[in-house]
Amino acid sequence: MIATIEYNSKKYKIDLSKPLDISIAIDTTKENVNAWYLDDPKIFPVSDGAWTGSVQQGADVNFNNIQFNPHSHITHTECVGHITEEVHSINKNLEKFFFLAEVVTIAPEQVENKDFVISKKRQLQYALGNKKRDAIVIRTIPNLSEKKSMRYSHTNPPYLLEEAAEYLKEKGIEHLLIDLPSVDKEKDEGKLLAHNAFWDTKGAIRMQATITEFIYVSNKIKDGTYFLNLMIAPFENDATPSKPVLYEII
């Protein structure tokens, strides 16, 4: 199904029958992606006396409980409420769901302290140039399918430098999507430099801006411009499971 979209006074065509899903699901049948030192998620049938909510065990319906943490177990989208004392809900602050996005592939560079980082000038500035986008989708390399089941705790994954997050804010990027467990260093003494810079917590807080972590961008998806449908579950919480989907512009 071909749709014509008028966006910022320009017209684009996309094929709605060819979505490119860049989310990672909770899948308890195999090793699930995991971070932040938590046990794996659980999906299990409700038990009430002699009754168990499983058709295989004689019930009329499957009736499962799901136990998980969005920051640890699944693709998730978060708002500034993730790092503020005042409670802010992603469900209330994300009011639009369709954005012009740029997919970029970045090779994190090693710095003197041996961390691997994403920088402004050598990487993001080079990748974005003069492009004006609402969202950026960052795929890091190496880009192995193992990202969908990686155990990230205590591994010090790559992260964004504060200058990189500041640059994205200055570029007007409102939605930052990345295939890592966090835009910040795993153990940074609670500074959360990239989160704070992107949301401008020391200035005019960007309530509408979001960060989506734990995406997976297949190698079949080329770098370039897409439309992004950022779908979220309606949780009144700082973060919620999400399903970002890209549509190629034709």
- In the chain, where the domains are located: 2-26+70-248
242 Ramachandran zone, left/alpha/beta (phi>0; psi -120 to 50): beta
pTM: 0.96
240 close to 232: Cβ distance less than 8 angstroms: yes
- At 189 the pLDDT is 95
Rounded to whole angstroms, the Cα distance separating 91 from 95 reads 8
With cut-offs at 50, 70 and 90, classify the pLDDT of residue 121.
Answer: confident
Q: Give the chain's length.
A: 250
**What token pair was written down for 250?**
């034709």
pLDDT (average), residues 69-77: 98
| Residue linked to tokens 């200055």 | 170
Query: Average pLDDT, whole number, for the chain?
Result: 96
CATH class held by domain 2-26+70-248: alpha beta
- Cα–Cα distances (Å) from 154 to 4, 80, 89, 122, in that order, read 46, 25, 29, 27
Looking at per-residue pLDDT, the higher value among 5 and 97 belongs to 97
| Residue linked to tokens 């938590």 | 38
- 178, pLDDT greater than 90: yes
How does strand 76-78 pair with strand 210-213? antiparallel
With cut-offs at 50, 70 and 90, classify the pLDDT of residue 238.
Answer: very high
